[in-house]
Amino acid sequence: MASKPSFNYYDNLKDISQVRSVAETLLMNSQVRKVTAAEAYQLALSQPGVSSTDLEIYPAYAEKIGLPKGATVLNDCHGKIIGRTAKARVFYNRIPENEKRKVEGDIREAVFQMGQYKLIKAEAIIGLDKDLMLKGTFVTTESDAMNVFNWLTNFTPFELLAEEYKNSKPLPIQDIIIVGFNEWTCHDSYYTNIGSPQLALVDEKHNVIFNLGMRYFGERKKGTLTLAWTSGMRLGMAACHGGIKEIDFSECENAEFHKLGKRSIAFYGLSGTGKSSHTNSIDNGGTLPKGFKKFILHDDAFQIDNENKICRVWEPSLFDKTDSRPIDHPDWKYCISLMNHAQMEVNGKNMPIGLDLRQANGRAILDRDLLGKWVNRCSFPKALTWLMKDNVLPPVLKFANSNLAVAMGAALVTRRNRAENVVEADLQKLVFEPFANPFRVYELYKDVEAFRKVIETGAECYAFNSAAYWKSSDTDLENIKLQDSLTLQTAILTGQLDWENWSLLPGAQLPTKASLEKFLPGFYDKYDPQKRQNLQDYIELLKNRFDERKEFLKSSDLQTKPALLNELVDSLHIQS
């Protein structure tokens, strides 16, 4: 057995939090019916907002979970809210004691109200590596059956890995509990109301989350991952909201690549920054040498184990945007479930249409088989890559200074997108999202220390600008093509770039012109920082952006680690 139920975990039961105790009591209620993935699917067929399509569920997966042959994909359409609501999160372990008492009472009242509905629960295994498996239970109303089905398929129905779980490494971590109650209503101004009253109560120390008034599946998925990532951090591993793949060069047609062996590269970024594009690309846009083998761990979530120098995966499926997948896209073959898709009659069939026709952030759960060869653990990363939407950064940078590498990750600059429930104005703002992980619920300094250890253990660190680069102003920009970034990725993996110091940012390096010309003729001159028009204005904005990075770090909990904070801040120095 890996993670532990409450009675076995707590030496002193008085140490359990009230909210976990409430969740445990709910799980044990005899009126809560346990369901399988197949049973949740059947319940979802009659759920409001859910409609069936004529697109067949990926047959290998349907058979695995006990669905009848020919079972079709269900489409769950929501109302106004179609993304995650970060502002709805209340962190139980950070609020004052008087607020805790209030929230505990409100949670008990919500659970009492849940009792007026038919309730179901499901069990899953979070994690696929034998040394990192946690048990999870999700309890909710029957009217939320689609989310139960999605949750089980996003992770792994318990019975599918029961034997492996029984023989997996015991861990000093509690089982995960997720409680959902979509019908919750509340007019208390203490709780967030962006479209409707919502509460995501997070108790990361006791591995429980309550999602109240939140029907979007991403809340269940990322809530579960939040607790999984934090559990991994508690075990001394680095939590990664990113994608990672391993390339094996040992059998390439050109023998000069054989010495590279296996190399892993990881990408960290929010939705829309190219994280999945870089991770899942078949052959890096045709630039990888012939005869390579690729193994993908995942494109969204994993954990780095520094001690054993390996990476481990949490999920067996992909939760992907479908805005760029037309109806004839080959990925639809691997589809398991959909949400917020338009449906149309196509050649006499009821078919879901991607392309975000109904609204933004249409999503699909896809089987990992679409990635080709995948693994549940891979080698320690050769390279970490921060994906940033910051138009003062060149297309690619390498960090020769570990403090600068970590500081750039801790003050990662990006933009929100419609995967998140934010007001329109917030989509235009640059924001800081440390290590591209908006689901971190512990102190930032812990991530800083974890990633510093990853770099000290041997990982190189880079930044890719995944937006556009200053041409003559903050609005007149040079676009950066994904194909060019994929080419640079291959050059990094194969060690075919030489680097020179960037005079404006000590500790950062740019690829040399001679090494770049072999891959991307003209690229160096096009993006040379010294050839920015209105150069002094560019340098001034560059300084301002790095000053903002410094202020962000100074305002964080890194204040409690002054020596560490000073090392990071001192590294963020623009030298004109």
Q: ∠ CA(455), CA(396), CA(409), 5° rounding? A: 40
Residue 129 bridge partners (DSSP): 132
In sequence order, the 6+-apart residues with CB closer than 8 A to the CB of 512 are 497, 498, 499, 500, 524
Are 56 and 318 within 8 A, CB to CB?
A: no
Its pTM stands at 0.93
- Pairing mode of beta strands 302-305, 238-240: antiparallel
Q: How far is CA 418 from CA 230, 279, 422, 561, in A?
A: 25, 21, 8, 35
Cα separation, 339 vs 17, in Å, equals: 34
Q: How far is CA 196 from CA 69, 88, 192, 295, 352, in A?
A: 39, 10, 8, 42, 27
> pLDDT tier at 399 (50, 70, 90 boundaries)?
very high
- Pairing mode of beta strands 32-34, 119-129: parallel
Higher pLDDT pick, 414 / 25: 25
Are 19 and 210 within 8 A, CB to CB?
A: yes
Mean pLDDT of the chain: 95
pLDDT at 423 over 70: no
Structure-token pair, residue 450: 């974890």
pLDDT at 241 over 60: yes
The confidence score (pLDDT) of residue 417 equals: 52
List, for residues 178-208, the tens digit of each pLDDT value. 999 999 999 999 999 988 899 999 999 999 9
242-299+380-571 shares the fold of 6-43+77-236? no
Structure-token pair, residue 182: 């979509």
In sequence order, the 6+-apart residues with CB closer than 8 A to the CB of 546 are 505, 572, 573, 574
DSSP class of residue 274 equals: S
177 SS3 class = strand
Residue type at 373 in one-letter notation:
K
Are 466 and 389 within 8 A, CB to CB?
A: yes
For the chain, give me the number of helices (H) and strands (E)?
16, 32
pLDDT at 462 over 50: yes
Residue 339 bridge partners (DSSP): 76, 363
Closest CA to 177 of 226, 109, 224, 128: 224
Q: What b/e readout covers 474-493, taking b as 16+ CB neighbours within 10 angstroms?
A: eeeebebeeebbbbbbbbbb
Picking from 49-63, 348-362, 405-419, 435-449, which range would have the lowest pLDDT averaged per residue?
A: 405-419
List, for residues 286-343, the tens digit of each pLDDT value. 999 999 999 999 999 999 999 999 999 999 999 999 999 999 999 999 999 999 999 9
Topology adopted by domain 242-299+380-571: Phosphoenolpyruvate Carboxykinase; domain 3 (3.90.228)
**If one looks up domain 6-43+77-236 in CATH, what number appears?**
3.40.449.10
556 SS3 class = coil
Domain map of the chain by residue range? 6-43+77-236, 242-299+380-571
